[in-house]
């Protein structure tokens, strides 16, 4: 199973080329939030996409009928197909899976409806906005835009690990030959609801996201989408596709422990499941892309889980959330793309904003500056509310074996 | 059976449904559902407008469903309705099917796959409302924040009953139940789980009812909203002495609203082709019967397929109202209820169809055992 096309919308770059440049140069997407009214919050930085022009990518659907998260998912899917040099006409003759993960779906629209309800009453809701909110649309709209009929479109709202879930589902569906291709990934739009919730929990950083830093203060909410084209190696070779990376396997489990606090043993177990599924040993892993939210609890728990599996000398462990914030359901999809680009271009993206590593997070997070590295196997962690863990293993494609 | 058929009677190849339960407007638990289906009684009631300040006069609610009364006071202070419905349905399944009262032990890793439309729109909108009407925008209830994420119900079921396997929420509107079943089937095929609880949940709430009210087409105005959660237990073949039904296949497609009839007919044909069955092998059909003219398209598609014979019609669970994401799972539990009440010789095959407003179509073929 290989990845042959990427669609990327992030606060540090649009498209795989720009995203790779952003990752390599350690670009920061942090800036004051404009997506919603932040009056009354003492601080309100986020990693917003300020110049998104959905019309550039969405050719067939009316963008006003799509919420912002669906606009991201559809635009990213279109970009991924273009990037993979896939002919849509050919895809229409094939069987496919469209799996898009999300945390908030169209909560940005629900926010608008609540605001209007407060002023004008619920009987005056905007019907166009109300039509946009069902979560299934994030994936169904991709099929409608591309004119794909013989596809299964499923939205996977498993919160902040959803992107990895969606990639895993694509992996299982393509591997058995049930489908010829998968368009999988994640999308989310910034919303007031989630910002306020994390703020109330004391987990929004005032200015910057500093994963694994002794002085880290939490997350910055972000937005965007990452969509990946996944197909069999045979299919990719037959059409002479450029291969970014192989998907080697993945692991999936649930803490069954706490709604918001991760559980070390369970996260470690998920890593073992992913390693087993991919048929690799911990010593073969060259890099871990951590969930790395930059909260006190996550980073300690995750670092300890990594050491539980990898021992005292774990692979370098980075968090791209330092650059593009926490893009929620898009996070692990964008991270999977980042891992693949790192493999292709031979570098490790840095963990920026880093001053002093927390002694309780004993990992080499590649502070501030990217480093050159030949990466063969990379692990991409996704952890979520509800104890939903999903970890994807990616490998360098080294030719026909 | 067709000459090419799958069917040496006892040769079960697909995953099997080995148990189920439901929390529905018929009441809590499988027995209440079976009795309700048997009687076909109406469940619609006039809403108490103080408790349900929405646009509806009528709805089909789970009777007397108060989360804290049903599940107790521990761990339920902040639990929302859809989570309560799901946790209760899982509790009932574990109770009914295995007499299991304790959470799963570590070594028995059970998975959960749950379908939803949008989680709890009420929980999501309530939190945003609090950011505007309270003194400061961050004066929101931290205990209720997790409810605003769509995987809350599935995560809570895992916490309550020790479900440490894959835990996945899937959203595909009215087709969610079959998309969840397909996801569960693939988990089994990939060896990622051995026991899967698989279902779908939908709550009644003023928020949902307002969203519905503003998005309905004129032909859908007679819709009465329902709610509930149905959960099936899915296991690999040969792992249970008395499976109820075998899942033969699931097919899905996406359609433009103008092409529902032809696309659904095509999707059913694919299911028959994959299982090497003919239309006359189908003993019963359970259409989703969505509101409005979409139901006509569904019926037309079935008429295109079944030209020579008329399969038994398993009525959609209409008396419990429009249960949205939970519809397709309730179609299956209705089928299983019929089978329980009116046992047929084994190997009868039933077709389930589901149509979502956003163009997702799904069909399932089940062989009753």
Here the ipTM equals 0.98
Residue B100's pLDDT band (cuts 50, 70, 90): low
B44-48 mean pLDDT? 97
**Six-digit token pair at A90?**
């050919």
- The confidence score (pLDDT) of residue B105 equals 59
B42 CB within 8 Å of a chain A CB: no
User: In the structure encoding, which two tokens stand for residue B216, read together?
Assistant: 């309905």
CA-atom Rg of chain B in angstroms: 20
Cβ(A233)–Cβ(A242) below 8 Å: no
Burial of A386 (0-12, 13-18, 19+ CB in 10 A): buried
Q: Classify residue B352: in a domain, yes or no.
A: yes
pLDDT above 70 covers a percentage of chain A that reads: 100
The reply to whether CATH 3.40.47.10 applies to domain A2-238 is: yes
Among B213, B235, B257, identify where a domain stops.
B235
Question: Interior CA angle at A79 toward A76 and A82, to 5°?
Answer: 155
Q: Concatenated DSSP letters for A333-369?
A: HHHHHHHHHHHHHTEE--B-S-SSB-TTS-----BSS
CATH number, span A249-395:
3.40.47.10
* Helix, strand or coil, per DSSP, at residue A167: helix
Provide the angle, in degrees to the nearest 10, between the axes of the packed helices A107-120 and B121-133: 60
pLDDT at residue B262 above 70? yes
> What phi, psi does B206 have (nearest 5°)?
-60, -40
To the nearest whole Å, the CA of B41 is away from the closest chain A CA by 31
User: Residue B210 is part of a domain; what is its CATH number?
Assistant: 3.40.47.10
The DSSP annotation for A290-343 comes to ------HHHHHHHHHHHHHHHTTSPPEEE-THHHH-B-GGGHHHHHHHHHHHHH
Quick check: B64 pLDDT over 60? yes
Whether residue B335 has pLDDT greater than 70: yes
Q: End of a domain among B191, B216, B235?
A: B235
Q: B164 contacts in A (CB within 8 Å)?
A: 253-256, 266
Q: Is the pLDDT of residue B18 over 50?
A: yes
> Would you state the pLDDT for residue B102?
56
Collapsed DSSP state (helix, strand, coil) of residue A6: strand
Each residue's pLDDT tens digit, A300-312: 999 999 999 999 9
Whole-angstrom Cα distance, residue B269 to residue B281?
A: 13
Crossing angle for the helix pair B121-133 and B206-215, nearest 10 degrees? 100
At residue A229, φ and ψ (nearest 5 deg) are -90, 120
Residue B91 lies in a domain: yes
Question: pLDDT tens digit string along A63-85?
Answer: 999 999 999 999 999 999 999 99
Asked whether the predicted pLDDT for residue B73 surpasses 60, the reply is: yes
Domain-ending residue, one of B169, B204, B235? B235
Residue B181 and residue B205 share a domain: yes
Residues B196 and B316 placed together within one structural domain of the fold: no
Does B281 share its domain with B164?
no
Query: What pLDDT band is residue B103 in, cutting at 50, 70 and 90?
Result: low
B226 and B266 fall within a common domain: no
Cβ contact, residue pair B150, A105, below 8 Å:
yes
Nearest residue to B172 (alpha-carbon basis) of B237, B236, B250, B99: B250
Number of domains chain B contains? 2
Inside any domain, residue B6: no
Q: Within a domain: residue B8?
A: no
Quote the domain boundaries for residue B335: 245-368
Q: What is the pLDDT of residues B274-320, one digit of tens each?
A: 999 999 999 999 999 999 999 999 999 999 999 999 999 998 888 99
Pair (B281, B320) in one structural domain: yes
**Cβ–Cβ gap B167/A193 under 8 Å:** no
In a domain, B240, yes or no: no
- The answer for A 262-321 residues in CB contact with B (under 8 A) is 266
B288/B334 same-domain check = yes
Distance from CA of B341 to the nearest CA of A (A): 34
Residues B124 and B219 in one domain: yes
- Which range has the worst mean pLDDT, A36-45, A156-165, B308-317? B308-317
Q: State the DSSP H helix or E strand holding residue A155, giving kind and residue range, or none if neither.
A: strand A151-156
**pLDDT the model gives residue A95:** 97
Cα(B93)–Cα(A213) distance, rounded to whole angstroms? 46
Structure confidence at residue A399 (pLDDT): 85
Q: What is the pLDDT of residues A95-145, one digit of tens each?
A: 999 999 999 999 999 999 999 999 999 999 999 999 999 999 999 999 999
Q: Tokens 């002495």 correspond to what residue?
A: B241
Range(s) of chain A covered by CATH 3.40.47.10: 2-238, 249-395
Chain-centroid distance of CA B156 in Å reads: 18
**Statement: residue A214 has pLDDT above 50:** yes
Task: With both helix axes pointing from N to C terminus, report the angle between B81-98 and B152-161 in degrees, rounded to the nearest 10.
Answer: 40
Q: Is residue B121 part of a domain?
A: yes
Residues B181 and B307 in one domain: no
pLDDT of residue B12: 85
Q: How far apart are CA B140 and CA B149, in angstroms?
A: 15
A156, closest residue in chain B (CA to CA): B170
Closest CA to A288 of A213, A245, A369, A351: A351
| Burial grade of B341 (CB within 10 A; 0-12, 13-18, 19 or more) | exposed
Same domain (yes/no): B95, B194: yes
Residues of A (349-388) whose Cβ lies below 8 Å from B:
384-388
Minimum distance, in Å, between the CA of residue B172 and any CA atom of chain A: 4
Rounded Cα–Cα distance for residues A291 and A335 (Å): 9
Same domain, B329 and B209: no
* Mean pLDDT over each residue of chain B, to the nearest integer: 93
What's the confidence (pLDDT) of residue B97?
A: 60
- pLDDT tens sequence across A336-383: 999 999 999 999 999 999 999 999 999 999 999 999 999 999 999 999
DSSP state of B61: P
Q: What is the pLDDT of residues B160-198, one digit of tens each?
A: 999 999 999 999 999 999 999 999 999 999 999 999 999
Same domain, yes or no: B223 and B256: no
Establish if B273 belongs to a structural domain: yes
- The predicted model gives A263-282 an average pLDDT of 98
Q: Which of A143, A157, A197 sits opposite B127 (nearest CB)?
A: A197
Looking at the fold, whether B65 and B129 belong to one and the same domain comes out as yes
pLDDT band of residue B2 (cuts 50, 70, 90) is very low
Residue B249, domain member (yes or no) = yes
- For an interface test with B, the pick among A154, A173, A174, A388 (most B C-beta atoms closer than 10 Å) comes out as A154
Largest CA distance in chain A: 65
Give yes or no: A254 in active site.
no
| Residue B355: strand pairing partners | B361
């Amino acid at each position: 199973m290989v990845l042959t096309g990427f669609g990327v919308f992030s606060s540090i770059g649009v498209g795989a080329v720009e995203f790779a440049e952003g990752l390599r140069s350690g670009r920061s997407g942090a800036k004051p939030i404009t997506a919603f009214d932040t009056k009354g919050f003492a601080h309100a930085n986020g990693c917003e996409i300020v110049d998104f022009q959905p019309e550039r990518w969405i050719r067939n659907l009316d963008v006003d009928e799509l919420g912002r998260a669906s606009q991201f998912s559809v635009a990213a899917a279109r970009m991924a197909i273009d990037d993979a040099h896939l002919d849509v006409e050919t895809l229409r003759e094939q069987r496919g899976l469209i799996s898009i993960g999300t945390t908030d779906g169209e909560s940005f629209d629900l926010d608008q409806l609540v605001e209007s309800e407060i002023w004008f009453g619920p009987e005056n809701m905007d019907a166009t906005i109300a039509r946009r909110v069902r979560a299934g649309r994030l994936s169904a709209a991709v099929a409608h835009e591309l004119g794909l009929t013989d596809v299964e479109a499923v939205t996977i709202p498993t919160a902040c690990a959803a992107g990895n879930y969606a990639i895993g589902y694509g992996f299982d569906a393509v591997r058995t030959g049930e489908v010829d291709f998968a368009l999988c990934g994640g999308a989310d739009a910034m919303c007031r609801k989630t910002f306020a919730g994390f703020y109330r929990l004391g987990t929004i950083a005032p200015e910057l996201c500093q994963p694994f830093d002794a002085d880290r203060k939490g997350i910055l909410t972000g937005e965007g989408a990452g969509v990946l084209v996944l197909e069999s190696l045979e299919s990719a070779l037959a059409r002479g596709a450029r291969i970014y990376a192989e998907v080697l396997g993945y692991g999936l489990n649930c803490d069954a422990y706490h709604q918001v606090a991760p559980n070390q043993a369970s996260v470690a177990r998920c890593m073992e499941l992913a390693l087993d599924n991919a048929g690799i040993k911990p010593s073969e892993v060259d890099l871990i892309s951590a969930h790395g939210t930059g909260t006190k609890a996550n980073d300690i728990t995750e670092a300890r889980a990594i050491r539980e599996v990898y021992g005292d000398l774990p692979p370098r462990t980075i968090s791209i959330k330092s650059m593009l914030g926490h893009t929620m359901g898009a996070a692990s999809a964008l991270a999977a793309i980042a891992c693949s680009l790192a493999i292709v271009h031979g570098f490790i993206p840095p963990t920026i904003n880093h001053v002093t590593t927390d002694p309780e997070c004993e990992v080499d997070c590649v502070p501030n500056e990217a480093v050159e590295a030949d990466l063969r196997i990379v692990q991409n962690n996704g952890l979520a509310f509800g104890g939903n863990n999903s970890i994807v293993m990616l490998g360098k494609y080294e030719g026909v074996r | 059976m067709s000459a090419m058929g799958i069917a040496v009677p006892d040769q079960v190849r697909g995953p099997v449904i080995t148990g189920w339960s439901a929390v529905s407007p018929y009441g809590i638990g499988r027995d209440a559902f079976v009795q309700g289906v048997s009687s076909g009684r109406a469940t619609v009631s006039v809403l108490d407008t103080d408790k349900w300040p929405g646009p509806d006069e009528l709805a089909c609610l789970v009777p007397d469903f108060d989360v804290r009364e049903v599940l107790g006071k521990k761990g339920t202070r902040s639990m929302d309705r859809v989570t309560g419905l799901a946790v209760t349905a899982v509790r009932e399944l574990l109770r009914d099917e295995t007499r299991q009262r304790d959470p799963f032990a570590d070594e028995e890793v059970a998975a959960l796959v749950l379908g939803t439309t949008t989680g709890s729109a009420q929980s999501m909108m309530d939190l945003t409302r609090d950011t505007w009407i309270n003194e400061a925008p961050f004066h929101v209830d931290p205990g209720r924040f997790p409810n605003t994420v769509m995987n809350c119900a599935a995560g809570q079921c895992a916490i309550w009953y020790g479900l440490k396997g894959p835990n996945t929420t899937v959203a595909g509107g009215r087709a969610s139940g079959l998309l969840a079943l397909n996801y569960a089937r693939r988990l089994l095929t990939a060896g990622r789980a051995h026991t899967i609880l698989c279902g779908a949940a939908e709550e009644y709430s003023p928020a949902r009812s307002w969203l519905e009210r503003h998005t309905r087409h004129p032909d859908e105005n007679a819709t009465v909203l329902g709610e509930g959660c149905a959960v099936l237990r899915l296991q690999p073949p040969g792992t249970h002495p008395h499976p109820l039904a075998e899942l033969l296949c699931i097919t899905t497609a996406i359609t433009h609203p103008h092409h529902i009839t032809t696309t659904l007919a095509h999707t059913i044909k694919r299911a028959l082709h994959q299982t090497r069955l003919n239309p006359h092998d189908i003993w019963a059909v359970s259409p989703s019967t969505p509101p409005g003219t979409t139901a006509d398209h569904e019926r037309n598609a079935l008429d295109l397929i079944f030209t020579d014979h008329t399969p038994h019609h398993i009525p959609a669970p209409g008396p419990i109202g429009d249960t949205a994401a939970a519809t397709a799972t309730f179609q299956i539990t209705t089928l299983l209820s019929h089978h329980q009440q009116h046992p047929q010789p084994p190997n009868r095959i039933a077709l389930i169809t589901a149509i979502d407003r956003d163009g997702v179509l799904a069909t399932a073929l089940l062989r009753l055992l």
